Amino acid sequence: MTQMPESRTPKHAAQPADVSYPYYEAGRTPQPQAHQHVQQRDSSAGLGLWAALVVIATFMVASVAWLGVTTAQDPTPTAEERQGREHVQRPGEQQGDGENGENPEQPAEQPPMGVQVSSPAFALWAPGTKIQATDHYPQPGEQFTAQSCTVAFSFSGPDGRNYAVTAGHCGNEGDLVWPTYAQTAQDYSVEVGHYIYSGLFSEDVGETGDIDVGIIEITDPDRYMDLVGKPIETALYPGDIPAGEEICKTGATTGFTCGQFEASGRSQIIRTDAETERETYGDIAHVCALPGDSGGPVFYLIGGRASIIGVVSGTEAGRAGEPCDAEGADTKMMSYSNYNQVKEVIDRVVPGVDWVEQTW
């Protein structure tokens, strides 16, 4: 009989985030909360600050699922076995995935646009990789909760270790990361990675504490990981996006959805537990997102090529469960952490990353 590993709990085990929000709730009139932990502002200065910002109460779009571990000892297929049974996930070979939208077109060749983008020297996981996280090693017969999210992109550090970028609310520092297809005891015996940083939960966040970005260290590079349809390129665009321009996102739940960019530097209020409210900042756009899409790449097409401009954070409270094909869904507001915020977090957590500059 195969001996199961002992249960091990990471040092910084996460508690599930409370995803109720202080200012807007479904079917209710906005009311002030009795015990707010955000910094209080006096009436004059506070009014001026909040009037200068668009404040949106957001529903963090990580998906929390109840799962169980089967007692089967056979692991799910390896990467080679999976690719032998399925289409290899390469641009142009696999159809769109998710409830809405086909994958963006990826022309084989495009004339140079004179736009600068940057790519990591090596990226192990493609943008749109699906992940789930737990705060412990699940055991056979156990019912447990897992946070399902999406990876925006990956990169390698100067020491050769591999990392992935997702939303900060998707996991606490020390949480374990698994493939979304994991279901057997052997699948859950060795994690594919773990969170080393969360902009919302880590203690030492410095000036990046109001950024909803998380960093995962990938510790099992050989494990097969599911993707959202066909992957886009791992290329980051630092430029400004004009209001009204179309941008898109990739998410594990809704696939590829697009809409108009709205504005930069907007504030959102989220509640990370029963008593604590956090104020974060990011960009907003009229793009549909649902639970499970958190952490996915937000991108802008340059000459038909997708360039990543941010990481999905949340959507308006009270509309988080509204399907993307529902009437009026095109007015939903999605918030995301932009390029500058993502690079700020990476530079703090994994300094010295090798970026390759390209001209498109």
Can 120-218 and 245-339+353-359 be said to share one CATH topology? yes
Classify residue 90 as exposed, middle or buried by CB count within 10 Å of its CB (0-12, 13-18, 19+): exposed
**Which pLDDT does position 327 carry in this prediction?**
84
**Which pLDDT does position 112 carry in this prediction?**
53
Tokens of 133: 């996280």
Classify residue 58 as exposed, middle or buried by CB count within 10 Å of its CB (0-12, 13-18, 19+): buried
pLDDT-based confidence at 62, cuts 50/70/90?
low
Closest CA to 341 of 284, 251, 265: 265
Q: In terms of pTM, does the model score above 0.85? A: no
Tell me the fold of 120-218. Thrombin, subunit H (2.40.10)
**Which pLDDT does position 349 carry in this prediction?**
96
When mean pLDDT is compared across 10-14, 173-177, 354-358, the lowest value belongs to: 10-14
Residue range 196-214: average pLDDT? 77
Please, what is the average pLDDT of the chain? 74
Residue 86: partners with Cβ closer than 8 Å, 6 or more residues away: none
**Which pLDDT does position 32 carry in this prediction?**
34
* 54 pLDDT higher than 70: no
Closest CA to 78 of 153, 181, 196, 198: 181
**Which pLDDT does position 242 carry in this prediction?**
94
Q: What is the pLDDT of residues 134-187, one digit of tens each?
A: 999 999 988 988 999 999 999 999 999 999 999 998 999 999 999 999 989 899
Neighbour-count burial for 229-251, b at 16+ CB within 10 Å, e otherwise: bbbbbbbbbeeebeeeeebbbbb
What do you get for the CA distance between the two ends of the chain, in Å? 56
Q: What is the pLDDT of residues 87-139, one digit of tens each?
A: 333 333 333 344 445 565 544 445 556 899 999 999 999 999 999 999 999 99
Which H or E element spans position 48?
helix 43-51
* 309 pLDDT higher than 70: yes
**Which pLDDT does position 276 carry in this prediction?**
59
**Which pLDDT does position 329 carry in this prediction?**
78
Residue 359: partners with Cβ closer than 8 Å, 6 or more residues away: 112, 114, 115, 116, 117
pLDDT-based confidence at 340, cuts 50/70/90?
very high
SS3 347: helix
**Which pLDDT does position 317 carry in this prediction?**
60
**Which pLDDT does position 68 carry in this prediction?**
54
Q: Map out the domains of the chain as residue ranges.
A: 120-218, 245-339+353-359
SS3 49: helix
Strands 63-68 and 143-150: antiparallel
Provide the percentage of residues in the chain whose pLDDT is more than 70.
61
CATH architecture classification, 245-339+353-359: Beta Barrel (2.40)
DSSP 3-state percent helix, strand, coil across the chain (nearest 5): 10, 35, 55
Residue range 336-343: average pLDDT? 96
Residue 65: partners with Cβ closer than 8 Å, 6 or more residues away: 132, 145, 146, 148
* Better-predicted residue by pLDDT, 46 or 215: 215
* Better-predicted residue by pLDDT, 174 or 48: 174
**Which pLDDT does position 200 carry in this prediction?**
77
Strands 55-60 and 305-316: antiparallel
